[in-house]
Amino acid sequence: MKQRFDAIVVGAGPAGCACGYKLAKAGLEVLVVERGKFAGAKNMWGGAFYGPTLSELLPDFWEEAPIERYVASNKFSFLTEDTCLSVEFTAGKFGQPPYNGFILLRSKFDRWFATKVEQAGAIVAAGLQADSLLRDGNRVVGIKAGGDELPADVVIACDGVNSILAQEAGLRGEILPRNVKQGVKEVIQLSRETIEQRFNLSGDEGIAWEFIGACTKGLPGGAFIYTNKESLSVGIVVELSALAEKGIKANDLLDGFKEHPAVANFLADGKLVEYSAHLIPVSGIDMMPTLYTDGFLVAGDAAAFVVGTGLILEGANFAIASGVSAAETVIRAKKRDDFSTESLAYYQELLEKSFVLKDLKTYRKAPRFLENPRIYSSYPELACDLAERIFTNDGKPRKKTWKLLREAMKGRVSFGQIARDLMKGGGAI
Amino acid sequence: MKPISIEDKLAVNKYDVDKDVHIKVNEDICKECEHHYCLYICPADCYKLREEHITFSYEGCLECSSCQIICDKDAIEWALPRAGFGVCFEYG
């Protein structure tokens, strides 16, 4: 291997690949190290990413990337133990280029993305782990990996939620359990025709379906189903501290979710082909590490660039955008031959101007607002109970809807609480 | 779909199991632990309570690092598997 690199990127996920691609395209000598046997081997997620970020880097990428389906519909459901109330949004244009969202499987997609990075001129070394940072005083001057010292002008840590390198660099402390959610997921194989019939899809259309309520037994989090080409991604996401304190396993919640009457038929006769788990950083700015220091930058999940509002949970587009900003910072630093903290502060400037830090600031209060237990119990129950009262015909004289609402609210939540939660929600999301 | 045990779920995954154990658990500390959070938060059931002893098996680890983050007793010497080993997702 070459003895010295302009930049070493650690981790070949969306942040690392975007960063490595941009750097290599600018003519820099780049090494991307990936601890998995191949890029994507260690990576999992719910299922979809949104927006134009990747096509700005790789125009019309969907023509060759292993996309499972386009997000043609976003569906949202409240669940109780045995009822379900749903809202589904479908837009014809979502199914047309440039597409609004992409459902994909990370093992396939990241692997493809890494080949683009190689084609751009970077070296992607899979099966190589960054064991620690190489230092000259406080300055990061490379990494130690596989028993070798690999020097570089700058190291970009894209090593995921529990970034060992950001911690070693002294940029973050321990992760608190309330700041992460645990995602567990099953990939369930079904034929393409079956999926399209059951979900009312045609061609490459797909659906991103989120659930809130009984699927997490009222704990902060939710469930999801994403349609892949010939499989479904079915999972549960729950705050880690809540699982521990209540003594509940995410896997048990997942099993229960799969048997819910509103869900079971969609999965019937499917074959389990993979079971995976991962943590999601969900506290945004509150848990964000310092983003740079001498010869070192942090991007993607490692920097906690994830935004969740209860209705959306996005990270991959933030990872890609931050990887690109990190690359732009390094390209500028290379021209000035200055990789000091002051020079790399440009990274923060770029992120402040982009949606990355703008969105994180906009939704700064969302993580704490989303800890409100009523969101996961009282409100889903209220919505489903009201719908049940409206639609049930028990042969008795009908009541006005307003009275049904009052009955459904009784013992659950008051108008005062709803008003206060709406106010708080309005301020947070 | 009928519920499947975690063991059977893990059995469909692809692993390259290293001969070295990547996570070490100090069972003496675990003996004194009053909550055993690890039992609930490990999605691969790597932690088990057997006659008041926490036992740990690393083979099915999904490398999520939940145990490292939840353990407030400093009982876990946590690391990732060596490069190239451990779980190998084919879907993700």
User: What digits encode the pLDDT tens for the residues A90-124?
Assistant: 998 888 899 999 999 999 999 999 999 999 999 99
B-contacting residues in A 270-299 (Cβ below 8 Å): 270, 272-279
Instruction: Name the residue with tokens 């004194």.
Output: B32
High-pLDDT (> 70) share of chain B, %: 99
**Cross-chain CB nearest to B66 (options A44, A240, A264):** A240
Q: What is the mean pLDDT of chain A?
A: 96
Given a contact cutoff of 8 angstroms between Cβ atoms, the answer to whether A342 and A329 are in contact is no
Closest CA to B85 of B53, B54, B59, B49: B59
Provide the pLDDT for residue A13: 98
pLDDT at B32 over 90: yes
Better pLDDT: A96 or B38: B38
CB neighbour burial string for A283-294, b if at least 16 within 10 angstroms, e if fewer: bbeebbbebbbb
Which pLDDT band, with edges at 50, 70 and 90, does A324 fall under? very high
Could you give the ipTM of this predicted complex? 0.97
**At CA A235, angle to CA A10 and CA A209, rounded to 5?**
105
Provide the pLDDT for residue A32: 98
What average pLDDT does this structure show over A47-56?
Answer: 94
Q: What are the domain boundaries of chain A?
A: 5-67+105-175+286-353, 178-281, 369-428
What average pLDDT does this structure show over A271-284?
Answer: 97
CA A402 to each of CA A12, A79, A210, A364, A395: distance values in angstroms, whole numbers, following the listed order:
55, 22, 28, 35, 19
**All domains of chain B, ordered by start, with CATH?**
1-7+26-76 (3.30.70.20)
CA distance A71 to A308: 18
pLDDT at A20 over 80: yes
Closest CA to A267 of A184, A183, A197, A190: A190
Is B69 at the interface with chain A, CB within 8 A? yes
CB atoms within 10 A of CB A191: 12
CA distance A245 to A129: 34
Alpha helix segments (H runs only) across A144-268: 164-168, 192-199, 240-246, 250-259, 264-267
Given a contact cutoff of 8 angstroms between Cβ atoms, the answer to whether A363 and A429 are in contact is yes
Which pLDDT band, with edges at 50, 70 and 90, does A264 fall under? very high
Closest CA to B66 of A27, A277, A48, A9: A277
pLDDT at B23 over 90: yes
Q: How many residue pairs from chains A and B have C-beta atoms closer than 8 A? A: 139
At A165-174, the pLDDT tens digits run 999 999 999 9
| 3-state secondary structure (DSSP) of residue A108 | helix
In CATH terms, the fold of domain A5-67+105-175+286-353 is FAD/NAD(P)-binding domain (3.50.50)
High-pLDDT (> 90) share of chain A, %: 96
| Closest CA in chain B for residue A229 | B91
CB-based contact A107 B90, cutoff 8 Å:
yes
Domain A5-67+105-175+286-353 and domain A178-281 have a common topology: no
Instruction: Name the residue with tokens 């993979």.
Output: A274
pLDDT at A1 over 60: no
At A397-417, the pLDDT tens digits run 999 999 999 999 999 999 999
Instruction: Name the residue with tokens 């999601």.
Output: A280
CB-based contact A110 B6, cutoff 8 Å:
no
CA distance A123 to A28: 11
At A200-250, the pLDDT tens digits run 999 999 999 999 999 999 999 999 999 999 999 999 999 999 999 999 999
Which pLDDT band, with edges at 50, 70 and 90, does A43 fall under? very high
Is B90 at the interface with chain A, CB within 8 A? yes
CATH class of residue range A178-281:
alpha beta
| 3-state secondary structure (DSSP) of residue A128 | coil
At A326-382, the pLDDT tens digits run 999 999 999 999 999 999 999 999 999 999 999 999 999 999 999 999 999 999 999
Closest CA to B63 of A277, A185, A44, A131: A277
Provide the pLDDT for residue A2: 54
Which pLDDT band, with edges at 50, 70 and 90, does B52 fall under? confident
Q: Kindly report the nearest CA distance between residue A411 and chain B, in angstroms.
A: 31
Instruction: Name the residue with tokens 């979900």.
Output: A199
Report how far Cα A162 is from the mean position of its chain's Cα atoms.
14
CA distance A326 to A19: 7
Provide the pLDDT for residue A312: 85
Q: Kindly report the nearest CA distance between residue B5 and chain A, in angstroms.
A: 9
CA distance A284 to A171: 15
A-contacting residues in B 5-34 (Cβ below 8 Å): 6, 9-10, 12-13, 16
Most B CBs within 10 A among A45, A129, A172, A276, hence the mutation to make, goes to A276
CB-based contact B65 A128, cutoff 8 Å:
no
CB-based contact A274 B12, cutoff 8 Å:
yes
Residues of B in contact with A231 (CB under 8 A): 91
**Cross-chain CB nearest to A162 (options B4, B45, B65):** B65
**Cross-chain CB nearest to B89 (options A41, A177, A186):** A41
